[in-house]
Structure 1
């Protein structure tokens, strides 16, 4: 009897294995991804961080979606229609979609999401102003919503594909509370949240009922690794499958290229780096000093020697792919003697101290900052470099206006539209603009948002870039490629220029 039972059990196991192998809806395999930063909250309204989007693109969906090819396609909305005056957008929603907790996705969920984003909860985070054109969302029927706009927003459909516009579950948030949702997110995406350990990682599992088709892997594990050398070592050891930008320093590119088990994937992206100025305090409150600092730094040599072809120079704080980029805009030239004259005019004494604040885990910027420091010493300044833990710099030092004379700003520019960068960087009262209050610049920034004529709006965006260039609000450095390190066992992976990698089609050997 016992032998018969064993054979029966083995037969059942064999049948079960065969069924799993034959089923296209059951995923298999685990993918491990290294991120350089813990976003700290998984609520879409709480963050502007690229690291958040890298993970959350797999948990949440927006009404629209923009993939690695940068084309805008339907997401949770099957279609949309914009009124002639641009002040109303009607969305037809997908039906029979559910949140991970089983709650139905419908028009009420869309309204709740945007009422929340534009209300008190959204006011606590950095996302609300990005969607300020929305006056209200009206439910037409369970699968139709109208977005009523205060004024047209030509970038809104793209903004609906990411960050604050991700659709969230009303009942879950009401029942569990805001704090719980921060650390236990629920969306409609291809992967479900399993667990989150602050500064350690986050674990997801496949959502077999995903409206876009069940993922082809069963587990998705993100590890927060802040040290570049550690991230690359974990990739080489096979404990990490993908290292996501921007952590891989240029100096480690040959290491990855030289490992036969690994592949380096580098794509032009929207990410730009600058050293922005404290325009309120100290010697950099003087525009002549700011211009002198820009003129003292040979940015071309930095790009050529340190960045080794993985970046290009910028004049304004945007990439060449951005709407508003002006190829004819001329930056200040490399002119050390001219820099010395401006410093003398401004009354800056030789040896004047200057603090440069950078991200402590950005090895590439550390090298760049060392080069900048050398150039500034050559014109008589005495710079020091102060590295910060990333979350401290982004959540405290910059927003609270506690920086040194210069501070690193890395910006994803994920909409590929200068408005998304410029409004956040230069408009009075914005989180990333702790120092500058300029009514004329505010007026320019506000004037282009309602414009429906792309050519006319582009003219104003170029005016903004020229205005910022003239006021020398930052030392523009470079537009860097998005550099991924990938284990060759990973198949069907497409590197995204904006780091928003959706992983439902990826497989692992």
Structure 2
């Protein structure tokens, strides 16, 4: 539901929006923030009587519905129903299969990718879909005036996009890139005839009133209230059984759950507490089904330390902070053992993850020793450490309304204080927090990343060149990591690339630029009137659902 509109677990799959929108990858992609607006609920959340209308929630309004400039998973949650890509991933194999492109070819040297388009696709305003739309979208991604810098990094080696005929397009790379096919095939296409009218692309009116080729078309958007889509009856492929989708803007997880139980919502993500303790009654299960899946495209949480701040420059301090968080105990008490403590940014069950690295355990005395070795001492007896006249007092920024954050932050503050560190907490709305991250205007941030399709490429988050326009918000810099990420992009041998990425994992583990927290499964509740629901490695495919 925070993902591609066709699959509930594809957080940031659109052009790799977790790594690409939210790493945005990546992927990316900004699943890339796990965040909500602090809004008042002052409207009537009544599900329409039409059983063919699916009502789900969004914890915040998307910043835009333009897939080129969007940065959050919430944007792709909506735009994924409206816009489409050249191919999609098979539910079972996760391999590409035709969508807007009926087939494609790759040159023997891996530098040219040619896509042959369907000739029967129309935009929702009746205009034909052609190669011109693909080249226009690509040009906007590459345009430095367009707010697409995180996405742009994934097309940095494309030297030419050319129209061979009305329904054939070819992309040429200057050097091989192992994810090139996925980045091109999963590029979400926008209509040239709509946006190319002389208005600013970043603030174009159609960013809030989109026209796509997808199975649903935009109806209305009332900020802070709802977004409504209806089934596009002229859709080129099979029509869904669902005829309308309503997104209710509900910041509170608790309110969302209560509205689900009342029957005012049909589909929501639920918390571990709700999964374990509040959704197992006969009454609940007579009305709703529960789904749990842990996909390669899922989200992980982290706390990022701004390397420009004096508190976090020393690796020993970052290790001390890691020793002040008991992830095993937190997982038991807050997540009922449903989350996966992680040691780095790679999918913990995947081949790029170095599984020999153990999660850092809670150890107050070891944390104090690290801080002492780094020169932090309580020089005035007030209980707070100082160094060079600077007290160890910093602010952690995070999004409002997330139950996990509200549970975790008091524990962090208490644990840090035992070591002589004073932690201030600052809750921000999603857009404000993202702006702070882009401007590097923070001490520490708590957020999340999603992962994308076609292999993990963390260049856009961890390469030093991405600290200004990419998603390297903490300004991390390590020449060896830069080299490994650059070489990994060019390496098509999976075993060799995995070796490189495991080295990246070990370096990040050693330097602890993030406090890597948990990888999260998708926990979903669904109304039982939707039938023919199957669980796949990528989650749930709503195209298959039948209304009864």
TM-score by length of 2: 0.81
Note closer, same or farther for the CA distance 1:125–1:182 as it changes in structure 2 (3 Å cut): farther
Tell me which residue corresponds to 1:11: none
Q: 8 Å contact 2:153–2:470 — kept in the other structure?
A: no
Tell me which residue corresponds to 2:122: 98
TM-fit CA distance, 1:496: 7.5
Q: 8 Å contact 1:274–1:317 — kept in the other structure?
A: no
Q: 8 Å contact 1:41–1:183 — kept in the other structure?
A: yes
Q: Please, which of 153, 163, 182 is the counterpart of residue 158 of structure 1?
A: 182
Q: Secondary structure at the match of 1:96?
A: coil
Aligned length: 474
Q: Please, which of 520, 523, 536 is the counterpart of residue 483 of structure 1?
A: 523
Note closer, same or farther for the CA distance 1:334–1:161 as it changes in structure 2 (3 Å cut): farther
Tell me which residue corresponds to 1:4: none
Whether 1:36 aligns to 2:59 is yes
Q: Please, which of 118, 123, 138 is the counterpart of residue 142 of structure 2?
A: 118
Q: Secondary structure at the match of 1:373?
A: helix
Note closer, same or farther for the CA distance 1:415–1:480 as it changes in structure 2 (3 Å cut): same
Runs of 5+ unmatched residues, structure 2: 1-49, 385-391
Q: Please, which of 317, 324, 343 is the counterpart of residue 371 of structure 2?
A: 343
Q: Please, which of 402, 408, 423 is the counterpart of residue 441 of structure 2?
A: 402
Q: 8 Å contact 1:316–1:469 — kept in the other structure?
A: yes
TM-fit CA distance, 1:189: 0.5
TM-fit CA distance, 1:275: 0.8
Q: In the TM superposition, what whole-angstrom CA distance separates every residue of 1:310-357 from its partner, at most 9, and x where no partner exists?
A: 211100023224452221234544332111101111222342323222
Q: Please, which of 204, 207, 217 is the counterpart of residue 242 of structure 2?
A: 217
- Please show how residues 376-395 of structure 1 align to structure 2 within 5 Å: 376-394=416-434
Alignment partners' CA distance in 1, 2:185 and 2:63: 21
Alignment partners' CA distance in 1, 2:128 and 2:404: 45
Note closer, same or farther for the CA distance 1:160–1:34 as it changes in structure 2 (3 Å cut): farther
Note closer, same or farther for the CA distance 1:180–1:362 as it changes in structure 2 (3 Å cut): same
Note closer, same or farther for the CA distance 1:326–1:304 as it changes in structure 2 (3 Å cut): same
Alignment partners' CA distance in 2, 1:73 and 1:379: 54
Over aligned residue pairs, what C-alpha RMSD do you find? 2.3
TM-score by length of 1: 0.87
Whether 1:265 aligns to 2:287 is no
- Please show how residues 356-367 of structure 1 align to structure 2 within 5 Å: 356-367=396-407
Q: Secondary structure at the match of 2:190?
A: coil
Q: Please, which of 459, 470, 475 is the counterpart of residue 510 of structure 2?
A: 470
Greater share of helix: 1
Whether 1:47 aligns to 2:86 is no
Note closer, same or farther for the CA distance 1:407–1:497 as it changes in structure 2 (3 Å cut): farther
Q: 8 Å contact 2:54–2:244 — kept in the other structure?
A: yes
Note closer, same or farther for the CA distance 1:250–1:461 as it changes in structure 2 (3 Å cut): same
Higher deviation after alignment, 226-235 or 68-77: 68-77
Alignment partners' CA distance in 2, 1:498 and 1:382: 41
Tell me which residue corresponds to 1:16: none
Q: Please, which of 240, 252, 262 is the counterpart of residue 274 of structure 2?
A: 252
- Please show how residues 63-78 of structure 1 align to structure 2 within 5 Å: 63-66=86-89, 68-69=91-92, 70-78=94-102
Q: In the TM superposition, what whole-angstrom CA distance separates every residue of 1:2-56 from its partner, at most 9, and x where no partner exists?
A: xxxxxxxxxxxxxxxxxxxxxxxxx982111111232211111112311122222
Alignment partners' CA distance in 2, 1:357 and 1:200: 26
Alignment partners' CA distance in 1, 2:164 and 2:450: 35
Runs of 5+ unmatched residues, structure 1: 1-26
